[in-house]
Amino acid sequence: MLTIGQKAPDFTLFNTARKEVSIHDFQGKNLIILFFPMAFTSTCTAELCEMRDNIGVYSGLNAEVVGISVDSPFTLAKFKEDQNLPFDLLSDFNKEVSQAYDTYYETFAMNLKGVSKRSAFVVDKNGLIQYVEVLENAGNVPNFQAIQETLTSLN
């Protein structure tokens, strides 16, 4: 399990425009990383729309947002378009980043294998983890207030 103060694991994943996005692209900014199980499901939609609706708050706290799931870039592109999400959705189709962040269901609902657990991480501008929340129950959403408080303390 990742802990506060630990260096965030590196990653480079494809976004919905089929461009590579790396954690290094966010150096000098705070980064909120949201892992979510599956695009188009009710809780995932609610979670990411909550971030969309409050993107100004996160921008004001010098934070960027990325969402990561094991969905394909093509599925994520449709989801991003449908929900008008103003941040990158990244495809961890090979499941390597979900495993590196220890946020991975070996078996999920309907016996689906290898799905990201719903989780939130705040990585500071130096690449260190400042907030970790890994939810075992995919029906729950992260504590957005705690994420905002963590970001406030970093500014």
pLDDT attached to residue 108: 80
Distances (CA, A) of 64 to 75, 86, 106: 22, 10, 29
> CB–CB of 129/6 below 8 Å?
yes
Predicted TM-score (pTM) of this structure: 0.96
Structural domain count, the chain: 1
Q: What CA–CA distance (Å, rounded) separates 117 from 138?
A: 7
132 lies in some domain: yes
Q: What percent of the chain has pLDDT over 90?
A: 91
pLDDT attached to residue 73: 97
106 lies in some domain: yes
6 lies in some domain: no
82 lies in some domain: yes
Domain that holds residue 59: 12-154
2 lies in some domain: no
Whose structure tokens read 């995932």?
Answer: 44
pLDDT attached to residue 28: 93
Catalytic pick from 32, 44, 48, 85?
Answer: 44
Q: Is 49 annotated as catalytic?
A: no
Q: What CA–CA distance (Å, rounded) separates 100 from 137?
A: 20
4 lies in some domain: no
Q: What is the mean pLDDT of the chain?
A: 95
Helix/strand/coil percent split, the chain, to 5 = 35, 30, 35
3 lies in some domain: no
Task: Quick: pLDDT tens for 19-29.
Answer: 999 999 999 99
What tokens does 153 get?
């303390």
What's 113's domain CATH number?
A: 3.40.30.10
Task: Quick: pLDDT tens for 4-62.
Answer: 999 999 999 999 999 999 999 999 999 999 999 999 999 999 999 999 999 999 999 99
Question: Which ranges in 54-143 belong to alpha helices (H)?
Answer: 55-60, 73-83, 96-100
111 lies in some domain: yes
